[in-house]
Amino acid sequence: MNTAMNRTINALIAGMLTLGTTAAMAQSAAPSDAQIAGIVVAANTVDINAGMVAKSKSHNKEVKEFAQRMITDHSGVNKQATALVTKLHVTPEESATSASLKEGGVANLKNLHSLKGKAFDKAYVDHEVTYHQAVLDAIDKTLLPSAQNAELKDLIAKVRPAIDAHLQHAKEIQASMK
pLDDT in tens, 86-128: 999 989 999 999 999 999 999 999 999 999 999 999 999 999 9
Nearest to 63 by CA among 16, 118, 23: 118
Each domain of the chain, given as residue ranges in start order, spans 3-176
What pLDDT is attached to residue 12? Answer: 42
Strand, coil or helix: 178: coil
Q: What percent of the chain has pLDDT over 90?
A: 81
Tell me: pLDDT of 25 over 80: no
Helix residue spans in the chain (DSSP H)? 3-27, 33-57, 61-88, 96-113, 117-138, 144-146, 150-176
Contact status, residue 133 vs residue 43, Cβ threshold 8 Å: no
Q: Which one is predicted more confidently, 159 or 6?
A: 159
Contact in structure between 153 and 147 (CB atoms under 8 Å): yes
CATH 1.20.120.530 applies to domain 3-176: no
Q: Which residue has the higher pLDDT, 128 or 10?
A: 128
How does residue 28 score in pLDDT terms, banded at 50, 70 and 90? low
The more confident residue out of 151 and 16 is 151
Handedness of CA 60, 65, 66, 72 (dihedral sign): positive
